[in-house]
Amino acid sequence: MAAFRVGARAVEGGRFQANGGGMASSRLQAPPKNPPNREEVALRGKPRSNHLAAAAKLRRRAGPMPLWRVAVFVSVALNVATLALLLYHYAAPPPPHHHHQHSRLTASSEGSLAAAARREDRTTMAPSTGKPAVTPDSVINLDHGDPTMFEAFWRETGDAAELVIPGWQTMSYFSDVTNICWFLEPELDQQVRRLHRTVGNAAVDGYHVLVGTGSTQLFMAALYALSPAAASAEPISVVSTAPYYSSYPAVTDFLRSGLFRWAGDASSFEGDDYIELVCSPNNPDGTIREAVLASKPGGKTVHDLAYYWPQYTAITKKADHDIMLFTVSKSTGHAGTRIGWALVKDRAIAEKMTKFVELNTIGVSKDSQLRAAKVLAAVSDGYEPSEADARVGARAPRLFDFGRRKMVERWSMLRAAAAASGIFTLPEETSGFCNFTNETAATNPAFAWLRCDREDVDDCASFLRGHKILTRSGAQFGADPRYVRVSMLDRDDAFDIFVRRLSSFKSGEGEADGVSTAIWEHV
């Protein structure tokens, strides 16, 4: 609207208000090709501008101008101005266009030329891309499970997962005040349920869907909700079978809560009251897990099913545990969107978990929720085409096919490299019948649980760091430091270099060519 306001001021200055005001159409909002600067506008608005000064001179020579001539002059001037603006609109090249299939969110504002022109003028920085590109000599950081492998898939999906959110939308704190989880966007609720029904990996009927800033926040919410309510109670023990996800102890204890505390390996736990964390397939070793303490009455379980998706493992049953955690970080690769969800059976627990998120972050970014919903919808569309796609015979890209193909390829490369090295071993491959694909499928974990068998190496992470490969030590998972966890989800270039480096190790060979530990231990 700024462009129009500028025009209106100039018109007001020239006392042509009535006609100018009537032209507030969206076309007139287009800025002229060389928009006047403020000073020009101010000058043009004053009667001492060149044209008006010339007219005044004429008037002085010829005496007072009759009213009808003033009217004709005004009318011609206005028509010429209108014509110029129209010509500009039709002749000017279109703004760099987004091949967005505009979601229903965009319809209201996207049509305006002013918005398009603003986009054209924009000189924003490109969004961040994560870790820098690598070369054969680079340090390869496979410490974190950063799921950039999936970028290649989403690059090919065109507008299927694109979203534009106008400035006025998603402003309220609230999403659905009738829902227990009042900050959950209904669209995300719906797409979460739809995807689970499509894949068949978790029951959703009779469950409350809760959203969190990543499933990490919902993990904390679950600990809060499952802790004893009595102020006098001792902190409840939080356990998980080793090797366990390294964030479990870190997140449990970092605020030294009086409600819960980390108590280590579930398989050696002896108390009666506990919260058992069951991660399946397990981070770091990819095993399929069940609760080991499930029979005790004072025990509660949280199932972290971040990797229970067809690209990683066979979907053998519809999980129906009391609390199940999922995340877009590992299902679709959108870790930066920071959206996780919980499926919770019990209403009171769902309310307490919601309370945690309310007190912690007053809800969860709606923008991220809408993006996650769009992404999940695109995944489901690949397997059950929308009516529109079906009508035109279009087929949306299939995420799980891509993911499985990639993981199979990477695992076979890694196994070959480990075998060639002669000093690294990997867990045995397992398989199962997948109800989603209707075929037997091997497990392709998101992490490799790599063991260094060289006798002189008792700290595999340090050994690999010496070869510019960053991994996470087994010690951080409650296991032997001869193991490391290696991310299998990085970009192709990093993965390829890693595999090449690994296969070049030989027993007795491979002294560090030099990354100082001090530099990298804080990365």
Provide, rounded to whole angstroms, the least separation between the CB of residue 267 and ligand PLP.
18
Q: 206: closest CA among 335, 324, 295?
A: 324
CB of 244 to ligand PLP, least distance (A): 9
- The residue (of 157 and 368) whose beta carbon lies closer to ligand PLP is 368
Query: Minimum distance between the CB of residue 282 and ligand PLP, rounded to whole angstroms?
Result: 8
Beta carbons of 452 and 415 less than 8 angstroms apart:
no
Selection from 412, 404, 434 nearest residue 288 by Cα? 434
| Nearest CB to ligand PLP, comparing residues 223 and 423 | 223
Select the residue whose beta carbon is closest to ligand PLP and give its number: 214
Q: Which residues contact 394 (CB under 8 A, 6 or more apart)?
A: 385, 388
Residue 3, exposed/middle/buried by CB under 10 A (0-12, 13-18, 19+)? middle
Q: How many of the other CB atoms lie within 10 Å of CB of 111?
A: 11
Report CA-CA distances (Å) from 316 to 59, 64, 401, 435, 462: 92, 94, 17, 6, 38
Query: Residue 206, class by beta-carbon neighbours within 10 Å (0-12 exposed, 13-18 middle, 19+ buried)?
Result: exposed
Residue with Cβ nearer ligand PLP (329 or 421): 329
Structure tokens at 85: 């603006």
Minimum distance, C-beta of residue 202 to ligand PLP, in the bound complex (Å): 15
Tell the smallest beta-carbon distance from residue 265 to ligand PLP (Å). 17
Q: Which is nearer to ligand PLP, 181 or 279 (CB)?
A: 279
Place of tokens 């409840």: 236
Tell me whether residue 113 or residue 199 sits nearer to ligand PLP (CB atom).
Answer: 199
Q: Which is nearer to ligand PLP, 302 or 497 (CB)?
A: 302
Angle of CA points 133, 137, 138, to nearest 5°: 40
Residue 152 CB contacts under 8 Å (≥ 6 apart), including other chains: 402, 491, 492
Q: Residue 438, Cβ neighbours under 10 Å: how many?
A: 8
- In the bound complex, what is the minimum distance in angstroms from residue 327's beta carbon to ligand PLP? 3
CB of 38 to ligand PLP, least distance (A): 48
Helix or strand (DSSP H, E) at 220: helix 214-226
CA separation for the pair 148, 334 (Å, rounded): 8
Q: How far is the CB of 326 from ligand PLP (least distance, A)?
A: 8
Nearer to ligand PLP, 305 or 434 (CB): 305
Which residues lie near ligand PLP (CB under 6 A)?
Answer: 145, 214-216, 245, 279, 283, 304, 306, 327, 329, 335, 340
How many whole angstroms separate alpha carbon 292 and alpha carbon 304?
Answer: 14
Closest separation in Å from C-beta 291 to ligand PLP: 15
In the bound state with ligand PLP, the residue whose beta carbon lies nearer, of 245 and 483, is 245
For ligand PLP, the closer of residues 157 and 282 by Cβ is 282
